[in-house]
């Protein structure tokens, strides 16, 4: 800890910063700041940083790397801008070193970064799931991809699922806000809901639970996490990110479309940069693809909104990746001849 700094927990620091900002900004700006800083808090939790005094330039570089593969470059720029603003204010109240904010560097934006974020296309999702159905049925990767593609759940919601959340009678799964035992939902209690899976999808998850390769775990709260690690714990959000990113690399289920070999590809191997694969897709991209697929399959936007826990405004602005012709094709089904 640097001399002259006053200890401050990350969550308390965020609350203080938001309280300071609230009188001078619009509510929409406050909502954006809350979301962007909640991502920073998630990273602090995973990195076991419980005092802002401990933050270094190297830590901030690790935060950027942790977040970089999960969002589009323009989104990352905006998130880092909010964190940088908080760092400057924390320096003023002697919670972090003066000048630390200037050590938070955002990657340069590539051409076209302002376009809509990438997403997992339906044809590719179906190809992956066919391969897993045949060659790795009810594996961890199979269950994870099937669940997110079918439900569009956020990574944090998937992390918080327990075996006991499955309901065989209704072929559904319960998503619940449980902050007291370490698995909050982004939208709090408002995000708690039942999600229908259906026979095929429910069976994949149920068979994964019974897979002898899966390690059954009871955590310190007496809960049985649905997804588990080799070290007998509930996975972190970053672990889920890495599992999914790696499983979605094309070379896992087909030939590499980029002319690379796994042996010399920088996106493969133990210390690989998973997002270096040009075809890499993050959990957020799978969620966006799932939402887009639901809409293309003529699921009512209101139903998608409730099922995926996203407002209609945000759904249309950030998640609906349909082309204008695809939107017309869906509307056409409801137009009389």
Read off the pTM. 0.69
Q: Which CATH number fits domain 10-103: 3.20.20.390, 1.10.150.120, 1.10.150.130, 1.10.760.10?
A: 1.10.150.130
**DSSP per position, 45-99:** HHTT---GGG--HHHHHHHHHHHHTTS-HHHHHHHHHHHHHHHHHHHHTTSS-TT
Q: Mean pLDDT check: name the lowest of 64-68, 100-104, 249-253.
A: 64-68
Q: Average pLDDT, stretch 244-260?
A: 91
C-alpha R_g of the chain: 21
* pLDDT 10s digits, 49-94: 999 999 999 999 999 988 876 776 777 888 898 999 999 999 999 9
Output the CATH code of domain 122-283: 1.10.443
CB atoms within 10 A of CB 220: 9
pLDDT of residue 303: 93
- In sequence order, the 6+-apart residues with CB closer than 8 A to the CB of 120 are 149, 248, 281, 285, 286, 288, 289, 290
Residue 6 CA to residue 94 CA, distance in Å, equals 6
Distances (CA, A) of 77 to 7, 23, 72, 104, 210: 28, 24, 9, 11, 42
DSSP state of 178: B
Instruction: Tell me the pLDDT band of 114, cut-offs 50, 70 and 90.
Output: very low
Residue 82 CA to residue 89 CA, distance in Å, equals 11
CB atoms within 10 A of CB 79: 22
Listed by start position, the domains of the chain span 10-103, 122-283
């Amino acid at each position: 800890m640097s001399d002259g700094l006053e200890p401050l927990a990350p969550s308390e620091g965020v609350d203080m910063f938001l309280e300071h900002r609230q009188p001078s900004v619009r509510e929409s700006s406050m909502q954006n700041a809350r979301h962007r800083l909640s991502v920073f808090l998630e990273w602090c939790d995973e990195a076991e940083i419980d005092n802002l005094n401990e933050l270094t330039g190297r830590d901030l570089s690790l935060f950027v790397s942790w977040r970089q593969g999960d969002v589009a470059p323009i989104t990352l720029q905006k998130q880092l801008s909010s964190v940088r603003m908080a760092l400057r204010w924390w320096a003023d109240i002697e919670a972090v070193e003066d000048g630390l904010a200037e050590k938070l560097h955002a990657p340069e934006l590539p051409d076209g970064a302002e376009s809509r974020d990438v997403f997992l296309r339906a044809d590719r999702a179906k190809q992956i799931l066919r391969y897993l159905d045949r060659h790795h049925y009810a594996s961890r990767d199979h269950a994870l991809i099937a669940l997110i593609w079918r439900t569009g759940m956020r990574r944090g919601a998937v992390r918080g699922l327990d075996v006991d959340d499955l309901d065989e009678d209704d072929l559904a799964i319960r998503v619940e806000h449980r902050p007291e035992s370490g698995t909050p939902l982004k939208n709090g209690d408002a995000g708690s809901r039942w999600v229908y899976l259906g026979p095929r999808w429910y069976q994949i998850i149920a068979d994964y639970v019974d897979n002898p390769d899966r390690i059954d775990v009871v955590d310190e709260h007496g809960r049985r996490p649905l997804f588990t690690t080799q070290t007998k714990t509930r996975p972190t959000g970053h672990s889920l990110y890495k599992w999914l990113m790696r499983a979605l690399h094309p070379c896992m289920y087909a030939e590499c479309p980029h002319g690379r070999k796994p042996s010399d590809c920088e996106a493969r191997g133990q210390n690989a940069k998973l997002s270096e694969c040009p075809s890499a897709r993050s959990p957020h991209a799978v969620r966006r693809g799932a939402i887009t697929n639901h809409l293309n399959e003529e699921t009512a936007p209101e139903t998608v909104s409730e099922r995926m826990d996203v407002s209609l405004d945000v759904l249309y602005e950030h998640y609906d990746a349909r082309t204008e012709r695809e939107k017309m094709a869906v509307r056409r089904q409801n137009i009389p001849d």
